[in-house]
Structure 1
Amino acid sequence: MAATWEESVADSINAVYLLFSAYLVFLMQLGFAMLCAGSVRAKNALNIMLTNVVDAVVGSISYYLFGFGFAFGGDGSNSNPFIGTGFFALHDIPNSAYDYSYFMYQWAFAIAVAGITSGSIAERTQFGAYLVYSFLLSGFVYPVAAHWVWSPAGWLSPNAPGGATTGLLFGSGAVDFAGSGVVHLVGGVAGLWGSLIEGPRVGRFDAFGQPVPMRGHNATLVVLGTFLLWFGWFGFNPGSFDKILVSYPDSWSEGNWTAVGRTAVTTTLAGAGAGVVTLFGKRLLLGHWNALDVCNGLLGGFVAITSGCSVVEPWAAIICGTIAACVLIGLNVVALKLKFDDPLEAAQLHGGCGAWGLIFTGLFAKEEFIVQAYASGATGVKRPFGLLMGGGWGLLGAQVVELLLITVWSSFIHTMKSAKGKGATKKETKEALKPVEDRVGKRKAAIKADKGNKRRAKKEKAAIKDPNKPKRPPSAFFVFLEEFRKIFKQEHPNVKAVSAVGKAGGEKWKSMSDAEKAPFEAKAAKKKGEYEKLISAYNKKQESAADDGDEESDRSKSEIHDDDEESEEEEEDDDD
C-alpha cells in the first residue's frame, strides 16, 4: 500500500533528522582527534592523528561488511538474542525496519568507540596491531554489545512490540538510551586492556615508581576538541530517538520533539555539573586551576548522562554529572597508585563514568519518560523505573546485568587477543615514532645548534671569570642536601641518578619542621657572613687595581707624548 503524502513528508523529515544527527556524531571524530593531539607530546601528534584516521576508514569497511549485521541482523524466526545473523554488507537494506540513514547513524557510533580507545594506547602502540584492533572493535566487539541492548531481538533489549514488557529482562530490559554502556563502557574497557597490554610509556614512572609528568604539548587543541565533542553530543544523545515526528497519544502538544529538547537539556546540565565539580575539586587537591582537568570532567558528565539522558529530569542530570566528576577524580588517583598509564584518562573517563551512568539510570529514571522513549508514549503502559523514584529493583537489576556482561565481554575478547601478541617494546616504540622524528629532524637540529651556540658562549664567558672571586654561599637547603647526599648513597647504593637524590632531598626538606631546619639555616647564615666579608675585600682590591691601571695608562700616554716631542726636536736639528 502506497504511503500517504503526510506519511511521506514525515518519513523524509525523520530521515533528514537522523542524517543530521549522524553528521554531528561523525564530527566527534574531529573532536577526538584534537583532544588526542593536544594531550600527547609534540613528537607523537602525527602518529595519533594517523590512528584517528584509521578508526574512521577501517571502521567504515568493517562495520559495512560485518558490524551492522552483527548488531541488527535477523528478524522473525532468524532472530538471535546474542548476535545478529543478517544484513551483512547491507544485504536486504533498506527494508521496513532499517534504511540507509539508520546505517549511517549507527556507523558513526561504531567508529566513535574506536576513537575512544586510540587515546588510551597513545605514544606506544604498534601500528599493525592497531589496525587489527580497530577492525575487530568496530566490526565485532561493539556490534555484539549493541545487539544485546538496541536490537529488538537482543536479550537485554528494553524494546517490545506495543510497549509490552513480556519477555524483557526483569520485566524491564536495560535502559541504555544512547550508550553509556554499549558505546562508552565498551570503549573504556577496551582502552583499559590496551593500556595494560602495552604497559606504561617509557619514562612515565621513575626508579621509585613515582609518576613523571608527561604533559600534552597543546592545551588549545584539548579545549577545541572538548567543545567539538560537546557539540557532537547533541547528535549523539537527542539523535538516538531516530524519529522526531512522533506524537504521544495522551497529549496533543507533546511528542518526540519535546523529549528531544529535554534530552539536550539533561546532556548540557550533566556536563556542566561535572565541569564545575572538577574545577573546584582539582583546585582543592592540587592548589591551582587547571583547564585540562575541567575538560575531562565535562566529558565525564556527558558520558554518564548518555544512558539516561531521555528518561531523567534536568535536576537529576546535575546529580549525575556531580558524581561522575567524583568517580573520574577517584579513578585517576587509583590509576597513579597502580602505575596505570592512560594519556587521555579514557579508561577512567569512558569506562568508569559509563558504568556510573548505567547505575544512575537505574536509580533516577522516570516512568513517564521511559514510556515515551520506548513505547512512543502509549497510554496505560506500565514499566519498571528508577529505584529512588519508587520504581522498584527491576530496572536497576537490568542495568547491573548490562554493566557486568559488557565488562566481561569486552575483557574476554581483548584478553584473548593479548595472548597472541604483546605490547610494543621500547625499541619498537622508538622505531614506530622514527618517521615522525625524521620529519621534524631539521627543526630539532636547528634548535640543538642554537642551544649549542648559547652553551659555548656561556662557557667562553665563564672562562674569562676571575678564579679568585669568592663563590656565592649555598642556601640552607643546599647545606642540608650536602649532608643528605651522603646518607642517601649509603641507603640506596644502586641509585646513581643525581635527579633522584635531588628529588628525595626536596621531599625530605619539605617534610621537616622549622626546628629541624634551624641548624642548616644557621650554617647557611654563617657562610653568607663569611662570603660578604670576602666579596667586600675582593671588590676593594678590584677597585684599587682599576685605579692603578688608570695611573699606569696615564703614565704610558705621557711617555708616548714625551717621546713624540723628543723625536720632533731631533728632526728639527737634522733639518738645520
Structure 2
Amino acid sequence: MNGQIVIGLNTVWMVIATALVFFMEAGFAALEAGFIHSKNSMNVIMKVLMDCCVGLIGYFAFGFAIMYGIHGQGGHIQWDGFFLKGNFTFLGLSIPVEIFWLFQAAFAVAVATIVSGAVAERMKFGPYILYSFLATVIIYPVSGHWAWAPTGFLHQLGFVDFAGSTVVHAVGGWSALAAILVLGPRRGKYNADGSVNVMPAHNLPLAALGAFMLWFGWFGFNPGSTLNALDGSLAHVALTTNLAAAAGGVLATLYTMRRYGKADPSMAINGALAGLVAITAGTQVVSALGAIVIGAIAGVIVVEGVGLIDRLHADDPVGAVAVHGICGSFGTIAVGLFATNGGLLYGGGLHLLGVQALGLIVCSVWGFASTYVVFLLMKKTVGIRVNRDEEDEGLDIAEHGVPAYASNSEIPAQIADMSEYFAKQMKEANVQA
C-alpha cells in the first residue's frame, strides 16, 4: 500500500482515538460530580476542566520534551520537544508528531484528573491548578519516559505497559493517595473512635453515566495505543478491553451481593472501571479468557481496596486509589502471569514477572513521592485546604460563587446583585429606545 495512504489512514485513526481519550475527561467529570455532595459538584468539574486547559499547555511546553525529547548515544545526546520543536525521526512514527503529541497529552491530563476526585470537597482551587500543571509537566512525563521512550530504562528492559496501567493509572492512583494523606479527610468522615461515616453520593445516575462515558472512551485509550490503523492486534485489543470491563462489573456486583446482601451500584460502577484499568497494561498480550480473569479479579480487588483505604483513614470520595492505584498495580503484575508469550502461567518463567514488578515499583514510588512533596510544599506555603466554613458551605459557592443546582440552593448575594444590574440596564435601554 502507498506510504502516504498508510500515513493518512493512521492519522485519521489517531485523531478518532485521541478524541475518544479526550472525551474520557467528560466521563471523569460526571463520575466525580455524581459521587460527591451536590454543593461541591461544580468545583470538581472545574478542576477537571482546568486539567484539560492547564495540562495541555504544560505538556506542550515542557512535558513532551521530558518524556520523549531525549535521544542520541554516547556524547551525542540531544534534547528536543520543548514547545514541540525539534527532530522526532528517532521515534519511528508512522503518524505526524502533532497527533502523537495530542494523544499523549490526553493521557497526561488523565493522570491529573485521577487526583481531582480523590481531593474533592476540601481542596483549594488555586493550588490544585498548580498541581495539575506539575503533573503534566514532570510527574507523568518522567514515568512515561522510563516506560515508553526508546531511551527509557524500563522500555529497554522489556517492561510491558501497553496503554498505561502503570504509567497512567498506578502513577495517578498512588499520587492520589499521597495527596489525600497530606490534605486530610473531609470533616465528619471519621469519628473520634475511628469509625467511618458514610457520605453518600448525591447523584448515582450521573456517576453511572460518567462510567459509561469512560468505558466508551477506553476504545480510544487502548486500541489507540497501537498508533496504527492497520495493526493486526487492533481488534484483539478492543475485545480484551471490553471483556475485562464486563467481567469487572459482574464480579464487583456479585461480590457485594454475597458480602452485603445488596448489589451496590457504586461498587458495580467502580468494578467495571477496575477491569478497564487492570487490562490496560496487557490488553495486547493476553488472551480473551485471560482478560476475563484479569477483569474479574480486579472487580473483587476494588471492593476490598475501597474498604482498605477507608480503614486507613485516607478519605477518597470517588475510590480513585482503589480503582487506579491498586487495580493498575494488579494489572501490571498480571502481565507477568497472563501474557501468552513470556507469562508465568504460560511457561515463561519469572523474568517478565520480575521486570513488571520492577517497573511498577519504580513508577509508583515516583508518583507517590513526587506528589507528596508537591502537596507538602504547597501546604507549607500557599495552603491547600479550604477553611471550616467554606467546607461546610460547599466549594461551589466558596470557590466559584455559583451553585451547581440553583433550584436547590439560595442564589448567592453577588448573583442577585448581577441580576439586578442587568435588569436595570435592560430597562434603561428600553426607555432610550
When normalised by structure 1's length, the TM-score is 0.66
Structure 1: 5+ residue runs without aligned partners?
A: 158-167, 246-255, 368-384, 447-576
Given the superposition, is the C-alpha separation of residues 413 and 234 from structure 1 closer, same or farther in structure 2, using an over 3 Å criterion? Answer: same
2:182 touches 2:376 (CA, 8 Å); kept in 1? no
Q: Which residue of 1 aligns with 2:119?
A: 121
Q: Which residue of 1 aligns with 2:23?
A: 27
Distance 1:432 1:64, change over 3 A: farther
Q: Say whether residues 1:411 and 2:385 are aligned partners.
A: no
Residues 436/10 of structure 1: CA separation in 2 closer, same or farther (3 Å cut): same
Which amino acid letter does the alignment assign opposite residue 303 of structure 2?
A: I
Contact 1:43 1:436 in 2 (8 A): no
Matching residue of 2:80: 86
Q: 1:149 aligns with which of 135, 141, 147?
A: 147
Name the SS for the 1:201 alignment partner. coil
Question: Which residue in 1 is equivalent to 2:324?
Answer: 350
For structure 2, which runs of at least 5 residues remain unmatched after alignment?
412-433
Q: Paired residue for 2:167?
A: 182
Give me the whole-angstrom Cα distance separating, in 1, the residues matched to 2:314 and 2:400.
26
Change beyond 3 A, Cα 1:111–1:402: same
Residue in 1 that maps onto 2:227? 242
How far, CA to CA, are the matches of 2:338 and 2:57 in structure 1? 39
Distance 2:66 2:360 in 1: 20
Q: Using the alignment, how far apart are the partners of 1:89 and 1:428 within structure 2?
A: 39
Counterpart residue type for residue 426 of structure 1? R
Aligned to 2:276: 302
* Match of residue 74 from structure 1: 70
- Counterpart of 1:139 in structure 2 is 137
SS in 2 for 1:420: helix
Counterparts of 1:235 and 1:289, CA distance in 2: 30
Partner residue in 2 for 1:327? 301
Aligned letter for 1:316? G
Pick one of 377, 394, 402 that aligns with 1:439: 402
How far did 1:432 drift?
7.2
* Structure 1 CA distance for aligned equivalents of residues 225 and 197 of structure 2: 41
Q: Which residue of 2 aligns with 1:293?
A: 267
Are residue 386 (structure 1) and residue 384 (structure 2) matched?
no
Paired residues for 1:92-241 under 5 Å: 92=86, 95=89, 97=91, 98=93, 99-157=97-155, 168-169=156-157, 173-241=158-226
- Alignment partners' CA distance in 2, 1:364 and 1:201: 39
Higher Rg: 1
Question: CA offsets per residue over residues 22-53 of structure 1, 9 Å max, x none?
Answer: 11100100000010111111100110111010
**Equivalent in the alignment of 1:58:** 54
Q: C-alpha separation between the residues in 1 aligned to 2:240 and 2:408?
A: 47
Query: What does the per-residue CA deviation read over 1:338-394, in whole Å, with 9 as the maximum and x for residues that have no partner?
Result: 222100100111000000001100111122xxxxxxxxxxxxxxxxx1011111111
Decide whether the 8 Å contact of 2:56 with 2:109 is kept in 1.
yes
Distance 1:36-1:79 versus aligned 2 partners, 3 A rule: farther
User: Equivalent residues in 2 for 1:468-483 (5 A)?
Assistant: none
The worse-fitting range, judged by mean Cα deviation, of 115-124 and 279-288 is 279-288
Structure 1 415/444 Cα, relative in aligned 2: closer, same or farther at 3 Å?
A: closer
State the Cα distance separating 1:326 from its structure 2 match. Answer: 1.9
- Return closer, same or farther for 1:100/1:25 CA change in 2, 3 Å cut-off: same
Q: Which residue of 2 aligns with 1:382?
A: none
Q: How much has 1:415 moved relative to structure 2?
A: 2.4
> Which residue number corresponds to residue 36 of structure 2?
40
How many Å separate the matches in 1 of 2:35 and 2:54? 24
Q: Given residue 125 of structure 1, which amino acid in structure 2 is its aligned partner?
A: M
Aligned equivalents of 1:405, 1:293: Cα separation in 2: 29
- Paired residue secondary structure (1:156): helix
Match of 1:270 among 230, 244, 267: 244
Does residue 235 of structure 2 align to residue 261 of structure 1? yes
Aligned to 2:430: none
- What code does the residue aligned with 2:348 have? G
- Give the C-alpha shift of residue 203 in structure 1: 1.0
Distance 1:281 1:30 in 2: 29
SS of 1:264's equivalent in the other structure is helix
Decide which of 388, 404, 409 is 1:426's aligned counterpart.
Answer: 388
In 1, the alpha carbon distance for the partners of 2:258 and 2:217 equals: 31
Does residue 1:18 correspond to 2:11, yes or no? no
Once residues 100 and 317 of structure 2 are traced to their aligned partners in structure 1, the CA distance between those partners, rounded to angstroms, is 33
Q: 1:78 offset after TM fit, Å? A: 7.5
Identity of aligned pairs, percent? 39
Cα separation, 1, equivalents of 2:128 and 2:75: 32
* Distance in 2, Cα, partners of 1:34 & 1:21: 20
1:260 Cα deviation after fit: 0.6
Q: Give, in angstroms, the shift of residue 444 of structure 1.
A: 3.6
CA contact (8 A) 2:241 2:279 kept: yes
CA distance in 2, matches of 1:117, 1:301: 19
Q: How far apart are the structure 2 equivalents of 1:311 and 1:432?
A: 46
Listed one character per residue, the Cα deviations across residues 214-234 of structure 1 (whole Å, up to 9, x for unaligned) are 111111111110111001000
Shift of 1:293: 1.4
Hey, what's the Cα distance between the residues in 2 that align with 1:80 and 1:188? 37
- Determine the structure 1 residue equivalent to 2:417: none
Distance between the aligned counterparts of 1:388 and 1:288, measured in 2? 35
